[in-house]
A and B are shown apart, each in its own frame.
Chain A
Amino acid sequence: MSKRIEIKDLNIYYGKFHAVKDVNMVIEPRSVTAFIGSSGCGKSTVLRSLNRMHEVIPGAYCEGSVLLDGVDLYDQAVDPVRVRRHVGMVFQRPNPFPTMSIKENVLAGVRLNKARLTRAEGDEIVEKSLKGANLWNEVKDRLDRPGSGLSGGQQQRLCIARAIAVAPDVLLMDEPCSALDPISTLAIEDLIKELKETYTVVIVTHNMQQAARVSDQTAFFNLKEHGKPGELIEIGSTEKIFHNPDQKATEDYITGRFG
């Protein structure tokens, strides 16, 4: 089930440091939205605020609201643990649990929510998720081997399988290909195009070709100057942002005349 995200007047702080200022955007279900912008402009912070993962850092808090199909993630009664169950995340570097087998890695999230899992149910979820992550054919014969024995690209797809195994509504990806070689990157990009049939996908990337290849919508973040909070400069269809942006800063960044 895919959901619509609406960000309203979002401000994020790390202690006294104002990291992100006044972000407003709408992310439609079954689409891929790319966040681009230079390092330190807050795009990863905004991404992490979509499943409240930024709160892991002590002193982080935010103002404004993030609505998931109309429900505010920052409502008093909302439990961050449940938010993360519905908004999955894939990280910059592949991070399968080293002490678990491939199979156990895929089931890691499922086991949290289901106390009893029959072997047949487990096998079904493992196969479905690994197929969903285009990894099944490569690992089906060694499901009981440690996940850390796979190549970087395979590990990252294992992490995607782990994230989709719990059937989230939204999938967040924080530079998922930055630690991978070009062939693995292509495999992940193909996968992202398939994932958007089922999920709302938000991806942070430094690679503008990647944003252009995979996303339907692109958001450009920037800093006014060093030490100031990051801001959302422009958001629109990828086609428009890359060929006919409204803002000069966007055009400069896209064409490489930045800084």
Chain B
Amino acid sequence: MKIAVCIKQVPTRDWQPRVNDQKTWVRDQDAGFELNEPDAYALEEGLRLKEQHGGEVVVCSAGPARVAQALREALARGADRAIHVMDDALATADAFAVSEALAAAMREEQFDLVLTGLQSDDQGFAQTGPILAELLGFASATIIMHVDVQPGGLRVKRELEGGWFQWVALPLPALLTVQSGINQLRYATLKGIMAAKKKEIRKVTPPAGVALRQRIVNLYAPVKSKQTQMIGGSAGEAAKTLVAKLRDEARVLS
């Protein structure tokens, strides 16, 4: 099975985003970047499917030059080769523009299966996968917790809300967005890191003229909806104050 896994590189979780002067994006010059965690689960699922059914795992990403680092990480974990759709503008682009850029580079590869994470930790559109499916003409299903390969297609377990699930059969070629927690992640071994150095990262220029369909006109910190009482002092003092407040003010402890 020829499998593509689409990944995004996002700022690290502990980085504090600060708004730029135009209030249209963050000052990310000082940010560290990492593989978007939901995409790591998609990659792991792709690697497992290849181990079971054979084939190839091609990791794809759209973004500026720094994205090569995330692709290299995926190669170290076991992906066979990579496609990097490179353009600085893709760092802040909407899901449609990113999907268009990916689709243009991926179409000729004729993948059987495309996997993506559920959503990204930066803009959190949760759309790139489903839009890509529409652009490639693939059947798709989202928020997947299990993948079985069957004759003629797939049978996948979709997560519904509130602890409900549903099995759905669909034909190949298909695109699935993978739910975090579907598997246990592997990490790159030293051997994998060495092997990744020899693997191909094909650089592709995105098609010209993909216009943004939505843009941020104002970016700001949320205003607190609740009066939060912040409790300071040493751990012991804070604990004492909190317990007293929970007992006497909120009256939720006896």
Q: Do A and B come from one complex?
A: no
Q: Show the binding face of A for B, using Cβ within 8 Å.
A: none
Q: Show the binding face of B for A, using Cβ within 8 Å.
A: none
